[in-house]
Structure 1
Amino acid sequence: MYEPIRTKSVHTPVGSADFPHRSREEELDIQLAGHLGALLAVTDELRGLESSADLDAAAERLATEVARLRGGRPPVRTSSGLHEPRLVALHERAHALAGRALVVAASRADTAAAILAAERMDAHAAALAGTARELAPH
């Protein structure tokens, strides 16, 4: 009575079998590497403005984590001539990026990246609190 369907459905994307699909874990790795890479870029900017052993150590740990998440490929790092960016804005941006990285690291149960992101959030929150005290009227 009915003839069997011999062609693919029009709803099946062309070449979908050939398209490489990533797992949720791979997608989270990519997302986490992106957040940590952005945090590394801000950390490098801060290092250019204020020398700190904490920032140096954080930059190296961030670079190591990004390389691990990217299958051993190290992150691209640039040293740009900065034109007086505001420290507060950089610390705020770094705090927000560390928070995003923490959320992704927690969702994929990556303890090392979660600890690193939480430590960076604390460090940037402390720097922001110190800046607020300096700017407060005496």
Structure 2
Amino acid sequence: MYEPIRTKSVHSTMAGTTSDFPHRSREEELDIQLAGHLAALLAVTDELRAQAPSTDLDEAAERLAEQVARLRGGRAPARAAAAGGDARLAALHHRAHALAGRALVVAASRADTAAAILAAERMDAHAAAQPESQELTGVG
């Protein structure tokens, strides 16, 4: 009823066989993931700097850029141009808080203390900048 498979599988399932394509280690994958989360947080931080400039955001942007460059082997991250607009600050802070949380999870997973501390600091800063409270409410 079914036609038999005539070609060799592209997936190697035999133990001890080598494949023709390169593999990345778990740590390399986590580095890539962490760099991506921090670069996204940097982009939102640059947007926030354009809307409401502050020395805290300037310092955070520089620290984020340093961490992204470190994780990417010295390559500097792309930076957003400072342009004004009518983006809502609360939405930007909310997005930055979520991105910092994702970065914190990956940094903790790969035991990167510097990135974890930076992500936690940014989470705190963006939580404090949001108008509504981030507290959990109980039902009852």
User: TM-score, with normalisation over the residues of structure 1?
Assistant: 0.83
Paired residue type of 2:33: Q
Which residue number corresponds to residue 83 of structure 1? 85
How far apart in 2 are the matches of 1:69 and 1:11? 35
Following superposition, the deviation at residue 12 of structure 1 comes to 4.6
Q: Which runs of structure 1 show a deviation greater than 6 angstroms over 4 or more consecutive aligned residues? A: none
Aligned length: 122
Larger helix percent: 1
How far apart in 1 are the matches of 2:51 and 2:85? 10
Confirm whether residue 38 of structure 1 aligns to residue 36 of structure 2: no
Q: Percent identity?
A: 73
Alignment of 1:95-106 (within 5 A): 95-106=97-108
How far apart in 2 are the matches of 1:52 and 1:89? 18
Alignment of 1:15-54 (within 5 A): 17-54=19-56
Which residue number corresponds to residue 108 of structure 1? 110
Which residue number corresponds to residue 4 of structure 2? none
Following superposition, the deviation at residue 51 of structure 1 comes to 1.2
User: TM-score, with normalisation over the residues of structure 2?
Assistant: 0.81
Partner of 1:77: helix, strand, or coil?
coil
Paired residue type of 2:93: H
Alignment of 1:61-76 (within 5 A): 61-76=63-78
How far apart in 2 are the matches of 1:63 and 1:117? 13
Tell me, yes or no, if the aligned pair for 2:51 and 2:85 is still in contact at 8 Å: no
C-alpha deviations, 1:62-90, integer Å up to 9, x for none?
00000000000000112153430000000
How far apart in 2 are the matches of 1:81 and 1:12? 48
Following superposition, the deviation at residue 57 of structure 1 comes to 0.2
Which residue number corresponds to residue 11 of structure 1? 9
Tell me, yes or no, if the aligned pair for 2:103 and 2:116 is still in contact at 8 Å: yes
Following superposition, the deviation at residue 52 of structure 1 comes to 0.6
For structure 2, the 5+ residue unaligned runs are 1-6, 13-17, 134-140
Which residue number corresponds to residue 125 of structure 1? 127
Partner of 2:59: helix, strand, or coil?
helix
